[in-house]
Amino acid sequence: MQSNNNVARLLIVDDEEAQMTALCNTLKAQGYEALGFTSAVVALSALAQQPCDLLLTDLMMPEMDGITLLRSALSIDPQLVGIIMTGEGTIASAVQAMQSGALDYILKPFKLSAILPVLARALAMRNLRLENAALERRVRERTAELEAANRDLEAYAYSVSHDLRAPLRGIDGLTKLLRQLLPEPLPEQTRRVLGHIDGSVERARHLIDDLLRLSRVGQQPIERRVVDVVPLVRGVLGDLRLEQSARNVRVDVAGSLPPALADAELLRQVFSNLLSNAYKFSRKRPRALIEVGCEARDHEHVYFVRDNGAGFDTAHAERLFVPFERLHRAEEYEGTGVGLSIVQRIVQRHGGQIWAEGAVDQGACFHFTLGTAGAAPARGLPSAGARPH
């Protein structure tokens, strides 16, 4: 933003008063507001009191040379644009001045046709610097607002979870007490009602836990490092097999899964949620099959988890990643509808994308990338694994 109703204010410093006055008068006639000084010290004092858009200073002056003056002026106003005025014999010094922060230089004796284009470029640079500074300030302010909002949201989530857990504990304790007080054997209807109460309490607890996990994903800092994906996936599968030891599930893991540059804990959560879903939605299959692999697309590693389970209607695919949305009835498949939302947020925080393919009763396949930074050095491993088919 230029001074005084968009009229550019120029600070002109030259120890030769006649040249300084002539230049001021010439530029005033061109529509500029010109403030002229023969003393660099006085000019700096004036700049501190009254901002200017552009500094034109002579290079060689007895009190203070132009380079020192420019540096001092920039300490007062970092967005100020400086132009050095010099004679033919000191062009090398003028170039040195540009290396010290000057935008350009003008040769003496002055020609108006040479000065005006330099001033136009300099003022355009001044406006650009001011706009960038304003943008950076707005970004800082917006970032601070978002950080404060995230802290408030996390505090709210903790508060809500604490407030919700208390009545759940009360309900759970009362049902236990009721079982002790009622004579055995309990009537079938009573057992069924108490069972519904227990199930509702348990689902509410899972919902609260998932709400907290969802709120924490955006707060957890990302610490990228090279992660060996194969042992990470096998570790997740080991936990799932222990939890569901009665099931016979065939899981094919491509041995050529490339390493990833990612946060190891968050990446483990991605595979844990995707593989848990694959286990859950394939449990009605007499021969459940899950595949984990990777392919190379557009200079990125695309990891995938595929199952031959219940699948989904592609017309509602966009709802898969919406928190608390479910495409299957709770009576068929348990869950709160938060797991895929967490996966999406983790992937996006890594700069990647996630998408799903599938069909009803024909299985599902979830693909995800970790951004261009997610492709880690292969360390002897092939860059791509099993290709989806």
Report, as an integer, the average pLDDT of 52-80: 90
CA–CA gap between residue 113 and residue 134 (Å, rounded): 33
Tell me what percent of the residues of the chain surpass a pLDDT of 70.
Answer: 83
Q: In the predicted model, is pLDDT for residue 386 greater than 90?
A: no
Determine whether 206 is exposed, middle or buried from the number of CB atoms within 10 Å of its CB (0-12, 13-18, 19+): middle
209 token code pair: 């836990």
Q: In the predicted model, is pLDDT for residue 384 greater than 70?
A: no
Report, as an integer, the average pLDDT of 343-347: 90
* pLDDT tens-place string over residues 98-137: 776 788 878 888 888 888 988 988 888 888 888 988 899 9
Phi-psi region of 380 (alpha: psi -120 to 50; beta: other; left: phi over 0): left
Q: In the predicted model, is pLDDT for residue 86 greater than 90?
A: no
When the pLDDT of each residue in the chain is averaged and rounded to a whole number, the result is 82
Q: Which residue has the tokens 């001021």?
A: 24
Greater model confidence, 248 or 203: 248
Report, as an integer, the average pLDDT of 76-91: 81
The DSSP secondary-structure symbol of 319 reads G
- Which residues make beta-bridge pairs with 203? none
Position 171, amino acid: I
For 224, residues 6+ apart whose C-beta sits below 8 A from its C-beta are 261, 262, 263, 350, 373
Report the pLDDT value the prediction gives residue 67, as an integer from 0 to 100: 86
Report, as an integer, the average pLDDT of 332-352: 80
> Does residue 327 sit in helix, strand or coil?
coil
* pLDDT tens-place string over residues 304-327: 999 998 888 787 777 788 776 666
Output Rg (C-alpha) for the chain, integer angstroms. Answer: 35
CA–CA gap between residue 249 and residue 334 (Å, rounded): 19
Q: Which of 30, 32, 26 is nearest to 52 (CA)?
A: 32
Report the pLDDT value the prediction gives residue 14, as an integer from 0 to 100: 92
Q: What are phi and psi of 300, to 5 degrees?
A: -130, 155
* pLDDT tens-place string over residues 129-165: 889 888 999 999 888 887 777 676 667 666 766 677 7
All structural domains of the chain: 3-110 (3.40.50.2300), 147-217 (1.10.287), 224-374 (3.30.565.10)
Q: In the predicted model, is pLDDT for residue 262 greater than 50?
A: yes
Q: In the predicted model, is pLDDT for residue 360 greater than 90?
A: no
- Which residues make beta-bridge pairs with 368? 303, 354
Report the pLDDT value the prediction gives residue 336, as an integer from 0 to 100: 63
Contact 257, 302 (CB under 8 A): no
143 token code pair: 């970032």
Greater model confidence, 257 or 97: 257
Report the pLDDT value the prediction gives residue 24, as an integer from 0 to 100: 93
